[in-house]
Amino acid sequence: MKPKEAVLERRRLALHAKIAAQRDHFAEQLEVFRGPLRAFELARGFGERIRRHAPVIGAVAAGAGVVLMRGGILSKATGALRLVRRTTTWWGFAKLALRVIQRRPVTSP
């Protein structure tokens, strides 16, 4: 083999090794995205199923809304939320008053 051909062969082998290393590195980089891509594909499939059954889902939601509003469950739920809000407000006042009372020094007669 001539010296010029030997140099070219070494360059060719070096380039093949560099290309193989770049392929391995690229494969590692792609592996990082496999999890997020899988999650995206699952979400896309879920969205497709929802879109396919949208009229049925809408009808069920409308029916449930009518039943909840006419049955009084919604008004009972809002009443319960009001009660919870009032209770937490009074509970907060009670805790604040207890702190104020506990900070006062006790005087003996």
pLDDT digits (tens, 9 = 90+) for 30-89: 888 888 888 889 988 888 888 888 888 888 887 777 666 665 767 777 777 788 888 888
Q: How far apart are CA 79 and CA 84, in angstroms?
A: 9
pLDDT digits (tens, 9 = 90+) for 15-35: 999 999 999 999 988 888 888
Tokens linked to 85: 């809000």
Q: What is the pLDDT of residue 12?
A: 93
CA 48 from chain centre, in angstroms, equals 19
Minimal CA–CA distance to 58: which of 100, 36, 66, 27?
66
The helix/strand/coil state of 43 is helix
Task: Give residue limits of the domains in the chain.
Answer: 72-104
